[in-house]
Chains A and B, each alone.
Chain A
Amino acid sequence: MIEKKTRIINALGLHARAAAKLVHTAGEFESDVTLVRDGEEADAKSILGILLLAAAQGSDVVVRAEGEDEQEALGAVIDLIEDRFGEGA
């Protein structure tokens, strides 16, 4: 199991569209991917779980991955978050 801390920096936070992108990205990997915010965990492959985390811009989150391809999964999810979910500035 590996994990990495990051921050939600896109303007809109984990809103519907960003959450959908996250689910698609996490879904490409075999590993379990989990998002943790303020001790609350959400499966990154569950759009409802991610939306219920209600992570606005500026939220600190930990991304956790566990499984065969955990390195790749963690990297892809971190990239997506740090790339502001492709929303631009």
Chain B
Amino acid sequence: MTGAEEIRQGLGVSGGIGIGRVVCFRSRTHEVFRIPLQEHQVEGEIERIRRAVGIAHDEIQAIRERARDELGDELAAIFEAHALVLHDDLFLLRIEERIREKRINAEWAVYRTAEELEKRFAGLESENLRARAEDLQDVSRYLLRSLQGIAHHELSEVEGDVVIVADDLTPSDAVRLGRQRAVGLVIEGGGQTSHTTIIARSLHLPLVAGVSGITQVVGDEDPVVVDGSAGTVTLHPGKETLQRFRRRQREFSIAIASLEETRAVPPVTLDGERIELMANIDLPEEIDEAVRYGASGVGLYRSEFLYIERSPELPTEEEHLEIYSRMIEAMAPEPVVIRTYDLGGRKLARQVMESEEDNPVLGLRGIRLTLARPKIFEVQVRALLRAGLKGNLWILLPMVSANDEVRRFREFVTAVMKGLDEDGLEYSRDFKLGAMVEVPSAAITADLLAREVDFLSIGTNDLIQYSLAVDRNNEHVSYLYRPLHPAILRMIRFVVESAREAETELAICGEMASQTRYTPLLAGLGVRRLSMSPRTIPDVKGKIRTLEIPRLRELAAECTNLGSADEVARCLESYEAED
């Protein structure tokens, strides 16, 4: 099969390069037919389903053990539930009953029974419980595959490296495929794949999501390259393209190999100064990844994702509680910084706000919205305080522009505690309260703000946009988005000094924290806590271990006296060129 080189763009959600030949899973749903049986065939059919259960059982156990060894307990729990569902009387007995009563084939009985149970789950109020229907779907697929003799290990008999192209893959697919010949995954979907993504990353398996229509254009055995970092899928790669990707693949595997070594190494400069590296995460399951990359705590959990997932409804207190508790417990005694809701009302849910805002970026969002809608956000705060019992909770308030917002939030917390007392619920009083420094007014009054809170966290992305009046997504002005602008450096310097004087913790959690070219400057400005995407921790750590603080102080002093971002950039370049 030949064809011209063709590149499809998707979303790279798990990094790395995979070079191989396509195996296409055209549809995740099996073709299931209703086949009536003769009476004498019924017992044979029961035998068949029992054998299939045995095969599925062994497979689930194997995946579960692999998940536990390679991914940790948190993710292995997904597969633990599968084993229980497989043997559940509500499922299995009902399937056998159906075969006997209706005299139908096992496939149809599995399909109908799962469908019936899924409907009952769909009627439940709790989102967490509703989501358990996924376990049921996953288990049904195991059973159907076993019944139809499509054993999963067939894939291992395919010659050479395989790139799986599918409309969607479940977490268990990812575990299974990652340990066979698969070197890359491409899926059309991209919405509900979060667990799959996390598992693919854990296995260092490149995954590109959201490539719509890809299953229609590829053919089995087509040569293909998956670049999970750039989010591209290259069909029929030419010779030069292949060479280029092979080179990048080698670089990537060297970086992965050094990961294990760097995790154990402390983030300490040559002269012994420690810089804490924490993880920014969006999903509770990323905790495992954070630990694996050596994070000392979660520096930023953005709670908006919980709301977005649930929109247009609001998450319940129990849903908040479960997610917060899991993260805090898994990280204890290291801190977990949970940021309260940081979007505008329109993104949240219909019931919060219906009015349009001309300029939502300067509108009712973050802490402003929280204080304006106490009835709604009481739910989040109650769950936070209750989850605080599980470990080391730091609550972070977004979009703070003045001290009185922190004071009003404290009053709000006091009222929430009273409500919890009345309900006889236990909660933590022993948590830290902090403010994001991302609005210029907060940066300029950082000395005052530092007295109100237990910690400050500089969100550089928004601070730069608000300070320089630049929308970085607007192509006409995005060139003005300059992290090294003297105004930004001076603000960071002032916030760091203010925090030190007030003996308040300080962290940086914007993109600047994750880019090694800024690390020397930030360290020189006195920053001792950085929070970033888990995967960037090893790089930043490696950088820190080459630094010497006295030299960096000089560098920072020099940079903050320069007149433009370009001059600062040149100054940093010449520092890097030093020995």
Residues of A within 8 A of B (CB): 11-13, 15-17, 20, 23, 43, 45-49, 51-52, 54, 56-57, 87-89
Nearest Cβ in chain A — how far from B192, in angstroms? Answer: 17
Query: Given B90, B129, B318, which contacts A57 in the complex, CB threshold below 8 Å?
Result: B318
B89 close to A45 (CB less than 8 A) = yes
**Cα distance A48–B95 when bound, in Å?**
14
Chain B neighbourhood of A16, CB < 8 A? 77, 81, 128-129, 132
User: Could you list 5 A-B pairs, sorted by A, with CB under 8 Å?
Assistant: A12-B322, A15-B322, A16-B128, A48-B117, A88-B389
Tell whether A51 pairs with B129 under 8 Å between CB atoms, given A11-B325, A17-B77: yes
Contact B318 A46 (CB under 8 A): no
Contact of B128 among A15, A20, A43 (CB under 8 A): A15
Q: Which B residues lie within 8 Å of A56 (CB)?
A: 126, 318
Given known A48-B117, A51-B132, A52-B120, contact A13–B89 (CB-CB < 8 A): no
A23 to B80, CA, bound (A): 12
A48 CA / B81 CA spacing, docked (Å): 10
Beyond A47-B81, A48-B136, 11 additional contacts (C-beta under 8 Å) are A11-B325, A13-B318, A16-B129, A16-B132, A23-B84, A48-B88, A48-B91, A51-B129, A54-B124, A56-B318, A57-B318
Which 9 pairs from chain A and chain B are nearest by CB? A47-B84, A48-B90, A89-B389, A48-B88, A46-B88, A12-B322, A46-B90, A54-B124, A46-B89
Q: Are B386 and A11 in contact (CB under 8 A)?
A: yes
- Please name all residues of chain B whose beta carbon is closer than 8 Å to the beta carbon of A46 when the two chains form the complex: 88-90
Q: Is the C-beta of B121 less than 8 angstroms from some C-beta in chain A?
A: yes
Q: Is the interface of B mostly helix, strand, loop or mixed?
A: helix
Q: How far is the CB of B91 from chain A (nearest CB, A)?
A: 6
- Residue numbers in B under 8 Å from A49 (CB-CB): 88-90
For B386, the chain A residues whose CB sits under 8 A away are: 11
Are B321 and A11 in contact (CB-based, < 8 A)? yes
B124 touching A52 by the CB < 8 A rule?
yes
Interface residues on B, range: 20 to 34
Q: Is B579 at the interface (CB under 8 A from chain A)? A: no
User: Measured between C-beta atoms, what is the minimum distance from B188 to chain A in Å?
Assistant: 28
Which residue of chain B has its CB nearest to the CB of A43? B89
Instruction: Tell me the B125-170 residues at the A interface (CB within 8 Å).
Output: 125-126, 128-129, 132, 136
Q: Is B339 an interface residue (CB 8 A)?
A: no
Chain A positions within 8 Å of B88 at CB level:
46-49
CA of A15 to CA of B131 in the docked complex: distance in angstroms?
A: 11
Give the residue of A12, A23, A54 whose beta carbon is less than 8 angstroms from that of B125: A54
Closest residue on chain A to residue B120 by CB atoms: A52
Q: CB of B569 within 8 A of chain A?
A: no
Nearest-neighbour CB distance to chain B for A77, whole angstroms, equals: 16
A11 → B minimal CB distance (Å):
6
Q: Is B90 a contact of A43 with CB atoms below 8 Å? A: yes
Asked whether B371 is an interface residue with its Cβ less than 8 Å from the other chain, the reply is no
**Is A54 a contact of B81 with CB atoms below 8 Å?**
no
Nearest-neighbor residue (CB-CB) of B126 within chain A: A54
* B387 (CB) vs chain A CBs: closest residue: A11
Residues of A within 8 A of B126 (CB): 15, 54, 56
Instruction: Please name all residues of chain A whose beta carbon is closer than 8 Å to the beta carbon of B77 when the two chains form the complex.
Output: 16-17
CA distance A45 to B90 in the complex (A): 10
Bound Cα distance A88, B390 (Å): 8
A88–B77 Cα distance when bound, in Å, is 19
Report the minimal beta-carbon distance from A78 to chain B, rounded to whole angstroms: 20
Give B121's nearest chain A residue, CB to CB. A52
Question: Is B283 part of the contact surface with A, judged by Cβ < 8 Å?
Answer: no
- B residues in contact with A52, CB < 8 Å: 120-121, 124
Chain B residues within an 8 Å CB radius of A89: 389, 426
**Chain A residues near B132 (CB, 8 Å)?**
16, 51
Q: Verify if B85 is at the interface (C-beta below 8 Å from A).
A: yes
8 A Cβ contacts from B381-400 to A = 386, 389-390
Residues of the B chain whose Cβ atoms lie less than 8 Å from the Cβ of A17: 77
Measured CB to CB, the closest approach of chain A to B536, in angstroms, equals: 31
Task: Chain A residues near B325: list those with CB within 8 A.
Answer: 11-12, 87
What residues of B have a CB within 8 angstroms of the CB of A23 in the complex? Answer: 84
Residue of B nearest to A24 (CB): B84
Chain B 80-104 interface mask (CB, 8 Å, partner A; 1/0): 1100110011110000000000000
Assembled-state Cα–Cα distance A17/B325 (Å):
13
- Residues of B near A57 (CB, < 8 A) are 318
In the complex, what residue of chain B is closest to A49 when comparing beta carbons? B90
Q: How far is the CA of A12 from the CA of B340 in the complex (A)?
A: 20
Q: Which of B84, B89, B120 sits near A20, CB closer than 8 Å? A: B84
